[in-house]
Amino acid sequence: MSCFQADMEMVTAQNGNSSLLWFFRDRGFDDSTIHEMFRKCKRLQDTQRDRASENWAYLKTIGIQERKLPSIISKCPKILTLGLNEKLIPMVECLATLGSKPGEVASAITKFPHILSHSVEEKLCPLLAFFQAIGVPEKQLGRILLLNPRLVSYSIDSKLKEIVDFLASLGLTKDGMIGKVLVKHPFITGYSVEKRLRPTSEFLKSVGLTELDLRTVVMNFPEVLCRDVNKILKPNFAYLRRCGFNDRQVAALVTGYPPILIKSVKNSLEPRIKFLVEVMGRQIDEVVDYPNFFQHGLKKTLESRHKLLKQRKLDCSLSDMLGCNQKKFLMKYALLQGSA
């Protein structure tokens, strides 16, 4: 008997479904992965090879590349045990009605294969109704769910309502405000209110943001709430203070451009401030009036526009220099000057 046959007999003895074991082996699964799938999903032991083959083939027809199927199935082997017409097709068709671009459903399933194991009636429909009730526009429901398909696994009562109540406590109480936050960053729903969201909001208030400032930050860039205070926000805040900004100025910078608290100091903030002061010869507090300075590419925008203005010996504010697209900038400072 070969080592391969011996291995297969051992795995068969452990898991008890030889036809399905060969199904997996034929598709490149190794024995340890097969054993782990049988351990995670006891229903595999009673699943016929024909059903598994049918479900596997169906997943290919909805746009999932075959090379990605082993990863998907190993994460959620239950998919192969579900009734095709009773479970898989209804869920996929429901998800397809939410998508607006080709491949969105396949991408969502690849991200979170377990979405296929949930019930349309018991899980998906109540979830969509919940989002509509908090002001998510019907056309945006698909964006939330397909971008973060893990949402379908969250409890509405113990998880999602807690997130909504927390956002409401920040003053996001007008119709549709919370829905807009969730559309902008669906992943906020995956964080703990007490371990992450509340500590972050308390930190932002402690460094000078008013309640209105905080609402503005959350509405415009909710990702900031999801970042770790000690690992990310505090180091960035400390860097801005070392640069010479006072608390009021830092609050204005954060409110005007929230990503300033999560951008890399070494790769993003420091090179731009150095360029502002050492090359452009400007005062550091000029960026307080135009916080979006930090969003512009250093070489593509800042260096090229500064060089052009310097060549023409033109002075202007940062907002005049950067607050327009390249075509309008050239019209304003290059083409018009050149034709004058």
Let me know: does 35 contact 11? Beta carbons within 8 Å: yes
What pLDDT is stored for residue 47 in this prediction? Answer: 92
What is the average pLDDT score of the chain?
90
What pLDDT is stored for residue 4 in this prediction? Answer: 43
What pLDDT is stored for residue 335 in this prediction? Answer: 53
Measured distance CA(3)–CA(129) in Å, rounded: 55
Query: 217-246 burial, b if ≥16 CB within 10 A, otherwise e?
Result: bbbbbbbbbbbebeebbeebbebbeebebe
* pLDDT at 226 > cutoff 80: yes
Q: Helix 18-26 crosses helix 3-15 at what angle (to 10 degrees)?
A: 130
Element containing residue 148 per DSSP (H, E): none
* pLDDT at 296 > cutoff 90: yes
Residues 110-136 have a mean pLDDT of 94
* pLDDT at 333 > cutoff 80: no
What pLDDT is stored for residue 174 in this prediction? Answer: 84
* pLDDT at 340 > cutoff 60: no
Structure letter (DSSP) for residue 320: H
